[in-house]
Every structure is written in C-alpha cells, then in structure tokens.
Amino acid sequence: MDAITSHHAGADAAGALMALLSHLEAAGYAFVMPTPGTHTRVRKRRPATPDNALRDIFGWSRPFSPELLDSALLDLVWLAGVVRRGPEGLTLTIRVSTVGARLFVHSAPTDDRDAVFLGPDSYRYVRFLRQQLTGTVGWGTALDIGTGAGVGAVALADINPAARVLGSDINDKALAFARINVAHAGAGVELAQCSGLPARPERFDVVAANPPYIAGEGDRVYRDGGDQLGAAVALEWVREGVRRLAPGGRFLLYTGSAIVRGRDGVREALARVAEERGLALFYEEIDPDVFGGTLGQNAYKDVERIAAVGAVLTAS
C-alpha cells in the first residue's frame, strides 16, 4: 500500500514527501512527464546511473540501488513509505514532475484504479488556462474540478494570486497528493472531496476542468470518461458547472473529443448547452490527434481520431 494512503504513516509520510520536494527543488531537479507509452519505452532502455540518478529514479521510475541516492533522500523515501523491493532493485511508487516552475508528486506506473496521473494533457491544460486567463480581470473565485495532483488549481492560483481557488476531487489519493503539491507551491488553494462540484451553493467566476475522456476505462478513474465515446463526464461537469457561474463567469474545459466521420460530438453538445443556457461559446482544436493507440479498442471502431480540444463558455 502507498504510504500516501496508509493509515499508520499519515502525517509523517506527507511531511517526508514535502521535504522530498524541497530537497529535489534545491538540487535543481526537473522532469517533463511524457505519455505512458513513451515513458515505458524509454524506461526500459537502461538502468539508473549515478550521473542521472534523480531523473532516473524520480522521473523514469527506474530500479535503483540504495547507494545512488544520498542519505537524506534515501531516508525520506523510506519514511514516506514509497519504496518497493523487486528483483532488479528498489523502485518508487511515486514520480515527481515539473509543470512550469512547480514540482508535483504523483503516481508511478501502476494498474491501480485510484492512480493519480500527470502527463501531456496536464501541460496542455495549464497552457490553455494561461492563454485564456492571463491578463484578464474581474475574477476572484475559481474552481478546478477533478483536480488530481493539483496542477490546474495551482496554475489558477499562480495566474491570479489574489483569487480564492478551490480544487475538488473524489479520489482520496489525489487529494493527498494535491495537499502536498499545493503546500509545496505555497499556493492559496482549498481542497474539497466530492464528485464534480461541491454541494454548497457557491458561485464561481471561473470553473475549470480537465476531465478524463477515454471510453471503456472504468478500471482507471483518471482515464474513464464514461459513455458518449468518453465525453459523458466532461459534459456532465459542464452542465453542472455553468449553473454555478457568477454573472460574466467562465467555464474553461480542456478535454478530448472522438471525431466520427468528421463530426465533433463534443463541440455539438457544447453548442447545445450554450444555446440552452444563453452562453457564449469559444471552441478550439488544440491537438488534432492524441491517444491514437486507443483507436484499436472496440469502442472506437468508428472513430477517426481523438482531438484535444479547449472550450470556454461565458455567462452573460
């Protein structure tokens, strides 16, 4: 069991992971997390080496021997309870990635249903938020739905340090990681456990979301977007979220859309929501082809491609 969720470790594990992030930051650690496929291929090329030990161990999740880490770091990973023993040596159950100038701890490669993913979508999501919000005025409250490791929530707090930012997630492990990442960033972010939006009747100037959008992935919370070729969760969050916008508020959605015979079902569904609710809709295709390997699944037999898309629905 990860120390991040273990009963006996609790605060000690979280404190150790906080100290770990500070230690890595002081060492100038940086690692951009690629797709799972790329990560798997590159990871297998060679073992961890002394000249690249931090990135090999904390980024590429390569097996390592204890002498590759200095004693302070080795003590911290043991205290955090994130070390596994295997036939090839030790491995960690966590990874650490950089997004912008921030470090984020999240899950190592695993089949666990509650894994906390960070990857290329996280970088595109943050870029989308910055493009849409940097330099804009008039927003003081923001919500990041399904915050995961807290990447979106921290980005919102960085864009507008004066804003009150809330991050929500249903996943215990995600919230545990997010608390550590938010605290390390020094970001003024509150966290709430819920599915979708918090129940309290609060309105927001900005609601943002990077929901899962792959169909047929019910065994992995961070990937399963539900029905409608993986769009159901995103559309549910949008319908719920636009009702909670303050006057002039914006819902910022980064997600994927399965394109069938040239038709973009997500765009069509969002246009209907915008018309029904009297909202202005901005929509763009950010990347025309992501998760191409998914098209081999039966659920995608009629899908031409999966596009990464960004949308902004603005209340009048």
Within-domain flag for 5: no
Helix/strand/coil (H, E, C) string of 144-166?
EECCCCCHHHHHHHHHCCCCEEE
Count other Cβ atoms within 10 Å, centred on residue 60: 22
Within-domain flag for 112: no
Please state the pTM of the whole predicted model: 0.92
Q: What is the pLDDT of residues 281-302, one digit of tens each?
A: 999 999 999 989 889 998 899 9
Give the pLDDT confidence score for residue 6 in this predicted structure.
Answer: 35
CB 241 within 8 A of CB 255: no
Range of 296's domain?
Answer: 120-315
CB 152 within 8 A of CB 128: no
Looking at the fold, whether 72 and 153 belong to one and the same domain comes out as no
Within-domain flag for 231: yes
Q: What is the pLDDT of residues 165-211, one digit of tens each?
A: 999 999 999 999 999 999 999 999 999 999 889 888 799 999 999 99
Q: What percent of the chain has pLDDT over 90?
A: 84
The answer to which of 55-59, 108-112, 142-146 has the lowest mean pLDDT is: 108-112
Residues in a beta bridge with 70? none
Looking at the fold, whether 178 and 274 belong to one and the same domain comes out as yes
Q: Cα 143 vs. chain centroid, distance in angstroms?
A: 14
Within-domain flag for 238: yes
Looking at the fold, whether 214 and 87 belong to one and the same domain comes out as no
CB 140 within 8 A of CB 204: no
Please give the average per-residue pLDDT across 121-137, as a whole number.
96
Alpha carbon dihedral 89, 46, 177, 157, in 10-degree steps, equals 160
Looking at the fold, whether 84 and 195 belong to one and the same domain comes out as no
Looking at the fold, whether 253 and 207 belong to one and the same domain comes out as yes
Within-domain flag for 210: yes
Q: Give the contacts of 88 (CB within 8 A, at least 6 positions apart).
A: 47, 63
Within-domain flag for 2: no
Looking at the fold, whether 90 and 217 belong to one and the same domain comes out as no
Please give the average per-residue pLDDT across 79-93, as a whole number.
95
Looking at the fold, whether 127 and 93 belong to one and the same domain comes out as no
Question: Which of 54, 75, 107 is the C-terminal boundary of a domain?
Answer: 107
Looking at the fold, whether 88 and 131 belong to one and the same domain comes out as no
Q: Give the pLDDT band of residue 9 (cuts 50, 70, 90).
A: very low
Structural domain count of the chain: 2
Within-domain flag for 114: no
CB 256 within 8 A of CB 288: no
Q: Give the pLDDT band of residue 15 (cuts 50, 70, 90).
A: very high
The answer to which of 5-14, 18-27, 163-172 has the lowest mean pLDDT is: 5-14
Looking at the fold, whether 18 and 144 belong to one and the same domain comes out as no
Looking at the fold, whether 211 and 285 belong to one and the same domain comes out as yes
Please give the average per-residue pLDDT across 252-262, as a whole number.
97
Looking at the fold, whether 136 and 94 belong to one and the same domain comes out as no
The DSSP result for 21-52, as a single string, is: HHHHHHTT-------HHHHHHHHTTS---GGG
Please give the average per-residue pLDDT across 14-19, as a whole number.
96
Q: Cα 125 vs. chain centroid, distance in angstroms?
A: 9
Question: Which of 72, 107, 142 is the C-terminal boundary of a domain?
Answer: 107
CB 44 within 8 A of CB 61: no
The DSSP result for the chain, as a single string, is: --TTT-TTTHHHHHHHHHHHHHHHHHTT-------HHHHHHHHTTS---GGGHHHHHHTS---B-GGGS-HHHHHHHHHHT-EEEETTEEEESEEEEEETTEEEEEEPS---TT----SHHHHHHHHHHHHHHTT--S--EEEEET-TTTHHHHHHHHH-TTSEEEEEES-HHHHHHHHHHHHHHT--EEEEE-SSS-SS---EEEEEE----BTT-TT-TTTB--HHHHTHHHHHHHHHHHTTEEEEEEEEEEEEEEEETTEEHHHHHHHHHHHHHTEEEEEEEEES---GGGGGSGGGTT--EEEEEEEEEEE-
Looking at the fold, whether 91 and 196 belong to one and the same domain comes out as no
CATH number for the domain that contains residue 262: 3.40.50.150
Average pLDDT taken over every residue of the chain: 92
Give the pLDDT confidence score for residue 10 in this predicted structure.
Answer: 57
Question: Which of 107, 134, 150 is the C-terminal boundary of a domain?
Answer: 107
